[in-house]
Structure 1
Amino acid sequence: MLPRPDSPRDGAWPARLLIVAAALGHIGWGTILLYQYVYAAETRGWGPIVGALASSLFSVGALVAAPVAGRLTDRRRPASILILAQTVAGCGTLGMLVADGAWAFCVSSFVFGCGMTGASPAKSVLVLRWTSGGDRRRVFAYRFTGESVGMALGALASGTFVDLARPTGMTTSYATASVALGLAVLVVAVAARKARNRAASDRALVAATRVATRSALEQIRAIRSLRWVAIVTVSLSLAFYAQFEAGLPAYALSYLHVDGMTIGLGAAVNCATIVALQFVVLRVTAHRQPGPMLMLVGGIWVLCWSLLGLAPNWPGAAPLIFVSLYGVFAVGETIFAPVLNPLVAQLAPPAVVGTTLGAFAALQTTFSAVGPLVAGVLLGGELPAAFVGLHLAISVTAVLAAWRLHRLLAMPRHT
């Protein structure tokens, strides 16, 4: 657990508040994104092209914002950047709420994506600033759990009052997202106020971040270990996160012949598993090296895709297999989330920690956006075996890359 408030680690309360803010921010994500395509394409009558464009522009906004927000985090106060990003996301939700035309709706979706992903580098840097080394992995894990719970609560709440038969049927959803993001801004402001009196080492780090970003990025490209972390990140993102909301449900509906309720149950099991196992996984992995942990995540992905490929041979058990594997995927997620950002921060030059974290967020976003396209081509072309085989191969690549990273980190100098 996090240190007690009366502990000499003065980052305890700011870290707790940051987790709360992260959860509040992702309530908006869950409230909107699951219904956005149908709402734009059918409810508002703008057609499937506009529905797809709105969803794509969210990802494009995320891709644009992540590296920019990372650089700003290195040059300005991270709390201010986080507040700005969450405010931008709130403006995006309000824009979708009042949009009368398709283009205004799509632009608002782009703004929403910018704000949601633009907040990620700042949150990661604030975890580094507001926690000690021994607590960082736990706080990263709790932040991930908070975001998962926030997203699930948002989706659950929105599902109770959304009405896709009426143009005003998502008014409450957009309003809820806006209020949650507004509350997140207030919580971050309070956390930043509590964290004002930081140690001299933190002030030195802030001063160090003013070096030229371009020269620092050249140093990053020269760090072999970071390059291998990037390969692991891309592989794990492609093999699961990119297919969570598109490819996996499509494969289950079309080739495992499950119903829509099973898809929702799988997502619920995924979130429940993350919440239930987070404390156990943290305790087991607290003092483990990151390389073997990432190898384990890749191994879990390999297991899941292997069983998904075999599931059509057992039609009676296919729904149970699908739901169970969403829970198994979640075990890997609970390991991956607290390992990645601390590892990137450890390997990055101190002057560009925010920039590096932003670059990795952009990597994850980019390849997550590619996932639906891959699923559409392979599943639309009635090539389910190729779909499963591709992701199985990507998962094996992640295992091999994590093994190479572990070997590299074990060397005395791994630059």
Structure 2
Amino acid sequence: MRGFWGALPVEGRWLLSTVAIQTLGRGLTLPFTIIYLHEVRGFDLGLSGALMSLIAIVGLVVTGPGGTLIDRFGARKILLAGLACMIAGCTLLAYATHPAVAAVALVLIGVNFGVSWPGFNALIAAVVEGDLRQQYFGVNFALVNLGIGIGGIIGGFYVDVDSPETFTVIFLVDAISCLIPVALLLGPLRHVRTQSEPSDDAATGVGYRQILRQPAVLWLTLLTFLAMFIGYGQMEAGFPAYARQVAEVSTRVIGLSFAVNTAVIVLLQFAVLARISGRRRTRVMWVMALVWAGSWLILGAAGLLPDTLAAAIGVLAFMGVFAFGETLLQPTVPAIYNDLASDHNRGRYNAINSAAFQGGAIAGPIAAGLLLDQGLSVLYIAVMVAGCLGIGVLAAALERRIPASANGVREHEPEPVSGSEPASEPVDD
């Protein structure tokens, strides 16, 4: 960690040193927003769920145009606009007593989600390069989880459904926490450019269609979507539903499992980064796919022993093993996208990454709901395991098409056979 920190430029240190504080506000509200809408503001559960979906839907719609704007105007300006929407949305939501007001607030929050992922990834890629970039994404992921985890713990002790003002406070704190990245973007990071110079921007006409035509990008996007579908797409819907309805564990065990998830990520991410440095990122994904397959088999076994101590242990073990897989995934995928990209299209590459993530996160709960509602719990686990194996297949296909430099291969290692040119090369119509 000392060597990593010493190798970072000043801008990278500014970005990384504030991550946990920035995300603490989000952790305060993330687990409790639907509780706030339903139990505090009195919206029925179906309406509350529909309102919550606005964040992901709007984020998915905004991501594409947001990536183009990042390439044209730079990540800093677009991030400032997104953060302004986030501050307005959280403030409005704190006082939302009518569904229409809550809808406007959640749409504003969704706008920020749509631009923040490609924006911050483009900003990171502009500050750090090479193997250091992969390490940065991994450390950043650990700190994000640390901030959200601590925020969730504090929020769990603080909020009270019988005291609406406690929810007002946490949403206002979430809004205030956004002022930290605003201060960074207006201060220490004001000179960081993510867009290319106009005179060098010969490929500004390259759009999403041309980028997605490149085999490496297409295979990577399919892999990202599948990973999100069987991974994060299940964390807020499929996993809790299976744990409650099939494994029959208590809500306390489910809450504790998320704490286990955060702890494993924070404790293991640095060690994992040291082990995967210089290794082919596609091979790291193979390991991740096997780890995740094992985690789903553990959860499936927990469902065979419902309402027992073994089931509770199985649920906790699932989240711990799954978290280990996350420490393998998160440093690699964003690094590949940004190593494939160049300055004139970095925003669009990260927008494709974001769209694949959000698409999987939307489709995952739908599939889980359909399968578990029909009592097809065994098929549900089988689909998840098959999806993990599918990630391995996609990673193998990607390895044959990706430039060695984007696959984390150091210069002295032989380059694998590539089925495409590096994605940073301009593509003409």
TM-score by length of 2: 0.89
Instruction: Give the corresponding residue for 1:218.
Output: 209
> Which of these residues, 53, 68, 71, is aligned with residue 71 of structure 1?
68
> Which of these residues, 8, 30, 38, is aligned with residue 27 of structure 2?
30
Shift of the 305–295 alpha-carbon distance from structure 1 to 2, 3 Å rule, reads same
Give the number of the structure whose residues are more often helix, by fraction.
1
> Which of these residues, 286, 306, 324, is aligned with residue 297 of structure 2?
306
Quote the offset at 1:116 in angstroms: 2.9
- Paired AA for residue 253 in structure 2: T
SS of the residue 1:149 aligns to: helix
> Which of these residues, 112, 132, 135, is aligned with residue 135 of structure 1?
132
Is 1:363 the counterpart of 2:359 in the alignment? no
Distance 1:77 1:251 in 2: 43
Instruction: Give the corresponding residue for 1:163.
Output: 160
- 1:294-325 CA distances to partner (integer Å, 9 max, x unpaired)? 11111111111122222233444111111112
Structure 2 unmatched runs, 5+? 403-415, 422-429
Distance 1:190 1:264 in 2: 38
Shift of the 207–356 alpha-carbon distance from structure 1 to 2, 3 Å rule, reads farther
Shift of the 66–115 alpha-carbon distance from structure 1 to 2, 3 Å rule, reads same
Instruction: Give the corresponding residue for 2:150.
Output: 153
Report if aligned partners of 2:51, 2:102 keep a CA contact under 8 Å in 1: yes
Report if aligned partners of 1:3, 1:12 keep a CA contact under 8 Å in 2: no
Distance 2:155 2:198 in 1: 40
Is 1:414 the counterpart of 2:420 in the alignment? yes
Quote the offset at 1:32 in angstroms: 1.6
More deviation, 246-255/204-213? 204-213
Shift of the 223–47 alpha-carbon distance from structure 1 to 2, 3 Å rule, reads same
> Which of these residues, 213, 221, 235, is aligned with residue 230 of structure 1?
221
> Which of these residues, 387, 390, 393, is aligned with residue 386 of structure 2?
393
Shift of the 272–88 alpha-carbon distance from structure 1 to 2, 3 Å rule, reads same
- 1:26-49 CA distances to partner (integer Å, 9 max, x unpaired)? 323322221111221222112113
Instruction: Give the corresponding residue for 1:271.
Output: 262
TM-score by length of 1: 0.91
Distance 2:313 2:353 in 1: 34
More deviation, 17-26/399-408? 17-26
Shift of the 370–111 alpha-carbon distance from structure 1 to 2, 3 Å rule, reads same
Shift of the 209–364 alpha-carbon distance from structure 1 to 2, 3 Å rule, reads farther
Is 1:57 the counterpart of 2:54 in the alignment? yes
Structure 1 unmatched runs, 5+? none
Instruction: Give the corresponding residue for 1:403.
Output: 396
How many matched pairs? 406
Distance 1:117 1:217 in 2: 16
Distance 1:280 1:206 in 2: 41
More deviation, 105-114/62-71? 62-71
Distance 1:413 1:124 in 2: 26
Instruction: Give the corresponding residue for 1:354.
Output: 347
Instruction: Give the corresponding residue for 2:233.
Output: 242
More deviation, 26-35/121-130? 26-35
Report if aligned partners of 1:41, 1:47 keep a CA contact under 8 Å in 2: yes
Quote the offset at 1:23 in angstroms: 3.1
Report if aligned partners of 1:274, 1:330 keep a CA contact under 8 Å in 2: yes
How high is the sequence identity, in percent, across the aligned residues? 25
